[in-house]
Amino acid sequence: MEWDALVLAGGGAARIARETGVLLGLTEGSPSIARHLAAERTRSIGTAAGSTVAAQLACGATLQDLFDAQIAGTAKEIRVSLDIQAFGSMMADAIAGATSPEETRTRIGVAPCPRSGRPSRSAAPSTWTEASGAWRTPTSPPALHGS
């Protein structure tokens, strides 16, 4: 069997709303498009936001239901509160003294979750100190195993 594809692009929540609205408008304006989209041979695929719309369609959601949910004004997203100054300080503390781009990325990657520990293969000379809640750089280089 040959397949047709509806390929949807990414672009965040705004793209989800836009793609849903455009598809609904196309199907309302053209019954042949509606039949084609609903056909078994048509596969919906996408990236990022487009994959969300494609997955919703594949699970049986109707375009009308998706559109109605978009305009209902009742968000289901989790609100995030961010103290930008505290976050900036945490990032500055994490990268202070980094000696390479790799070490900087490693430090940034583990800064939000210090209890998980630093990656074991990291040669970064600093460590997270739980008691003080800060990165500490030893005065001498770390000992290498087997040396």
Decide if 76 is inside a domain: no
Answer for the pair 13, 49: CB distance below 8 angstroms, yes or no. yes
For residue 51, being part of any structural domain is answered with yes
Residue 96 to residue 104: CA distance in whole angstroms: 9
- Specify whether the CB–CB gap between 124 and 118 falls below 8 A: yes
pLDDT band for position 125 (50/70/90)? very low
Per the domain annotation, does 122 fall within a domain? Answer: yes
Q: In this predicted structure, what is the pLDDT of residue 69? A: 85
Rounded to the nearest 10 degrees, the angle between the axes of helix 49-58 and helix 63-71 is 130
Count CB-CB contacts under 10 A for residue 103: 17
Statement to judge: residues 8 and 67 lie in one domain:
yes
Q: Which has the higher per-residue pLDDT, 6 or 120?
A: 6
Same structural domain for residues 66 and 116?
no
CB atoms within 10 A of CB 21: 15
The predicted-structure confidence for 68-120, as pLDDT tens digits, reads as follows: 988 887 766 667 778 888 888 888 888 888 888 888 888 787 665 544 444 43
Which structural domain, as residue segments, surrounds residue 36?
4-71
Count of domains observed in the chain: 2
Q: Are 10 and 50 in contact (CB under 8 A)?
A: yes
Give the confidence band of 64 by pLDDT, cuts at 50, 70, 90: very high
What is the pairing mode between strands 4-8 and 42-46? parallel
- pLDDT at position 21, please? 92
